[in-house]
A = this chain, B = another copy of it.
Amino acid sequence: MRRMTARPANAHQARLLRLLRDGGPRSRAELGDRVDLSRSKLAVEVDRLLETGLVVADGLAASRGGRRSHNIRLAPGLRFLGVDIGATSIDVAVTNPELEILGHLNQPMDVREGPVAVFDQVLAMVAKLRDSGVAEGFDGAGIGVPGPVRFPEGVPVAPPIMPGWDGFPVREALSQELGCPVMVDNDVNLMAMGEMQAGVARSVRDFFCVKIGTGIGCGIVAGGEVHRGTTGSAGDIGHIQVEPDGRQCACGNRGCLEAYFGGAALARDAEEAAREGRSAELARLLEENGRLSAADVSTAASAGDGTCLDLIRDGGARVGQVIAGLVSFFNPGLVVIGGGVTGLGHTLLASIRTQVYRQSLPLATGNLPIVLGELGQVAGVTGAARLTSDHLFSPA
């Protein structure tokens, strides 16, 4: 099953490949308009790409007033695999060379079951996608895990919520199984890359992406590049203190953001509210399922449950408080909110916005959009595919 996908031989070829990826098929002439190369040079490079099979000719382009040009597109058989391992579920998707999703699967699974069980699941899902006919083999794969990663080696380091994964050679193992190059990164970084590729953050060079799921993390993009930090733990904002001497947090400290908001905290608060009789709706749902989740809060809130709306507003204010600080520090051009709890939608967003606009200085917030991510569940896998293709479409 091993594929040896060719790699561009130089920066020019890499540039051309990325243009074709992000802008779709184009004529040679249009490519020429975009890159600063002489016509002869361009012809040579395109010919070489055609030879290696990375791009193919694809019919004639529309005329621009003279002789018609031949269209060039990325080899349509190229396939990228994106895997997004969340705390409680796994997403797997296959994309074409333009990073459009051809097939997508989602399956609940607790990451704490450990790398072996998770890998089995991932491989089963990959097999299923393969059987559905969208791909035979892969030219590259990207995988996101919910914890810090030593990026160059592709190995998780000291991940708090995924015991058993510390030091597990994710890249190595997956590359072995799939027979293609594999990139490993933190799931929030991939979400940020996804939104940069196909979502709200297209053409934004400095932004961050707050993912509120079971935990809370943040992908940082500075100058168009993902900032991973010295040990790969940049963006780990779930344990920033929001309340001195506040609630006990699982990490051992007190008053962490995650002790007040995020899927886990929200579920706990909801159960408490249900038991204390503060919300009939929640009590009913608790009775029904035996336990409550963030989704239940979302449901009840849309049904107009006041207690739930308060929970969301309070949580949004906490997150907003943290984001306000980070906005002052980083001065981004955009803030994206994503992750599982985006079901909470505009109530949450409004609450976050209020807090940020009130607390940060006008110069930093003056023209700062705070928006929900566009890609939802596929942000991570899209980002994974982007990371992979960025790597493959760079000089060998």
Contacts and interface: CB of A to CB of B under 8 A. Distances in A.
B222 A331 contact: no
A331 B361 contact: no
B331 A329 contact: no
A234 B330 contact: yes
Q: How many copies does the complex hold?
A: 2
Interface stretch (A170-178, A225-233, A343-351): A225-233
Interface in A333-389: 333, 358-364, 366-368
Nearest to A366: B231
B328 A325 contact: no
Given A206-B230, A241-B324, A251-B361, A235 B329 contact: yes
Residue in A240, A322, A326, A332 whose Cβ sees the most chain B Cβ within 10 Å: A240
A220 interface: yes
15 contacts: A148-B363, A158-B362, A223-B225, A223-B227, A229-B331, A230-B331, A230-B333, A231-B363, A231-B366, A233-B364, A234-B329, A234-B330, A236-B364, A239-B328, A239-B361
Interface string A203-237: 00010000000000010101101011111111111
A364 B325 contact: no
A326 B231 CA distance: 15
A24 to B, nearest CB: 29
A10 interface: no
Contact of A359 (B253, B328, B359): B253
A211 to B, nearest CB: 14
B233 A363 contact: yes
Given A222-B222, A227-B223, A229-B206, A236 B331 contact: yes
A157 interface: yes
A218 B353 CA distance: 24
A332 B244 CA distance: 24
